[in-house]
């Protein structure tokens, strides 16, 4: 059940509370991604210490490894990974449709080859919901089709109709005890198709709604537009989830557009390359500029890495390929993402979100702008 606690007068931002059988989720919320029943490089103690409320698991990957037999013997996904809080599982649809030419779309699902051994697999609404049922997740996602943003309109229309048909099939499947099911709005950049998809999903009365087909290679303005044209057609008394998003700056702006839930692999993915998120943007810890920088990744940060270690030390670990280095950056980045959400919730509660949003936009420099500035500086030097 979702409870809308407060709305921001300057934007579409909302303060809310999503109650599951395994706990209450305060929104807006960021969900660390635990694709293989683990958030990469982090253990559950660290996740709890940094304030993680809910994790995301991957239906497709977990169904292949370790598979149903092992997870059922363990007593479900929560017991298998020793996580007592809520878990949201995706449907596997995004992974399937990312396979491109090696899949075959049929009436009731998709036939494709395993990325591990090439064995033939069929996944559709019935199969996806069955997997999520034995995983025992608290929030299950419907099986949908996620076409690329460059897909011709006539094909997008067919895709939306298929997504709606599959959503109805998902709704009819049995669930795990207390399991919620969220519908997913598709339609790429077409307002009328997004509206059609959203309105028909709302008529099916799902427990929450996701905005899909974003962060799939489209330019950022197009991604923002997809959210803007979908959100007005979703009910205020249900949670809204932007799938696979985003950077800290994007999340702040998407909260302002009415989104409540986010997930993204960026915090741990870029950490493995030695990139850290801070309130001023990202920077590369492996670079020589911090070789003798004996300060935390970010001054004032309360994560374990910043409380105990310096940039110089973490840079050393990364450059000699010590696993602890990428773990410490992963801890910091994940903590930072959750801290941004904590600040957003606090400002929404205090009625000061507009000022926070404005200040964040002024101080946080997106990575692409940093790269552009460096390229411009290099070009000037050459000239």
Mean residue pLDDT across the chain? 94
Q: What is the pLDDT of residues 81-113, one digit of tens each?
A: 999 999 999 998 887 777 766 788 888 999 988
Q: What is the pLDDT of residues 115-163, one digit of tens each?
A: 888 889 999 999 999 999 999 999 999 999 999 899 999 999 999 999 9
Residue 57's beta-bridge partner residues?
34, 89
For residue 289, what is the DSSP state? G
> Does 270 score more than 80 pLDDT?
yes
Strands annotated E in the chain: 2-7, 14-20, 23-27, 29-31, 33-34, 55-57, 87-89, 103-106, 109-113, 120-123, 139-141, 180-185, 208-211, 239-242, 261-263, 275-278, 281-284
**For 195-202, what is the mean pLDDT?**
98
Residue 241's beta-bridge partner residues?
210, 261
pLDDT for the residue 115: 81
With a pLDDT cut of 90, the percent of the chain lying above it is 87
Q: What is the pLDDT of residues 331-376, one digit of tens each?
A: 999 999 999 999 999 999 999 999 999 999 999 998 665 454 445 5
Residue extents of the structural domains in the chain: 2-264, 271-382
**For 19-31, what is the mean pLDDT?**
98
Q: Which of 33-42, 94-103, 286-295, 319-328 has the lowest mean pLDDT?
A: 94-103
pLDDT for the residue 374: 44
**Coil, strand or helix: which one is 379?**
helix
Active centre residues (catalytic): 90, 263
pLDDT for the residue 116: 84
* Pairing of β 180-185 and β 208-211: parallel
> Does 281 score more than 90 pLDDT?
yes
pLDDT for the residue 37: 98
**For 228-242, what is the mean pLDDT?**
98
Distance CA 375, CA 379 (A): 6
Distance CA 231, CA 12 (A): 9
Residue 182, CA atoms < 13 Å, CB-side half-sphere: 28
* CB neighbour list of residue 207: distance below 8 Å, 6 or more residues apart: 2, 139, 180, 181, 182, 238, 239
pLDDT for the residue 118: 85
**For 17-40, what is the mean pLDDT?**
98
pLDDT for the residue 383: 34
pTM: 0.95
**For 13-24, what is the mean pLDDT?**
98
pLDDT for the residue 7: 98
Answer with the residue of higher pLDDT: 198 or 370. Answer: 198
Look up the CATH number of domain 2-264. Answer: 3.20.20.105
């Amino acid at each position: 059940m979702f409870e809308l606690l407060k709305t921001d007068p300057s934007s579409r931002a909302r303060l809310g509370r999503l109650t599951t059988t395994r706990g209450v989720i305060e929104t807006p919320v960021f969900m660390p991604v635990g694709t293989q029943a683990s958030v990469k490089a982090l253990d559950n103690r660290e996740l709890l210490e940094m304030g993680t409320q809910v994790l995301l698991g991957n239906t497709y990957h977990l169904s292949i490894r370790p598979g149903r037999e092992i997870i059922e013997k363990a007593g479900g996904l929560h017991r298998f990974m020793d996580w007592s809080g809520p878990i949201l599982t995706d449907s596997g649809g995004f992974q399937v449709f990312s396979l491109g030419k090696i899949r075959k779309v049929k009436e009731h699902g998709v036939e494709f080859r395993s990325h591990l051994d090439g064995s033939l697999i069929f996944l559709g609404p019935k199969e996806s919901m069955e997997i999520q049922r034995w995983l025992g997740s608290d929030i299950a996602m419907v099986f949908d089709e996620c076409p690329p943003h460059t897909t011709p309109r006539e094909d997008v229309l067919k895709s939306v109709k298929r997504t709606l048909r599959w959503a109805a099939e998902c709704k009819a499947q049995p669930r795990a005890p207390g399991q919620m099911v969220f519908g997913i709005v598709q339609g790429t950049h077409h307002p009328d198709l997004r509206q059609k998809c959203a309105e028909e999903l709302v008529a099916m009365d799902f427990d929450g709604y996701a905005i899909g087909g974003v962060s799939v290679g489209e330019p950022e303005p197009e991604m923002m537009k997809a959210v803007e044209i979908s959100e007005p057609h979703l009910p205020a008394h249900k949670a809204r989830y932007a799938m696979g998003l985003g950077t800290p700056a994007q999340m702040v702006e998407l909260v302002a557009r009415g989104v409540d839930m986010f997930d993204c692999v960026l915090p741990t993915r870029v950490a493995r390359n030695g990139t850290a998120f801070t309130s001023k943007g990202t920077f590369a810890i492996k670079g020589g500029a911090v070789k003798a920088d004996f300060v935390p990744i970010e001054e004032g940060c309360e994560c374990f890495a910043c409380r105990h270690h310096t940039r110089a030390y973490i840079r050393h670990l990364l450059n000699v390929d010590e696993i602890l280095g990428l773990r410490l950056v992963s801890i910091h980045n994940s903590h930072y993402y959750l801290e941004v959400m904590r600040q957003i919730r606090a400002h929404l509660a205090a009625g000061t979100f507009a000022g926070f949003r404005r200040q964040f936009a002024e101080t946080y420099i997106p990575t692409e702008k940093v790269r552009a500035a460096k390229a411009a500086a290099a070009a000037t030097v050459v000239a």
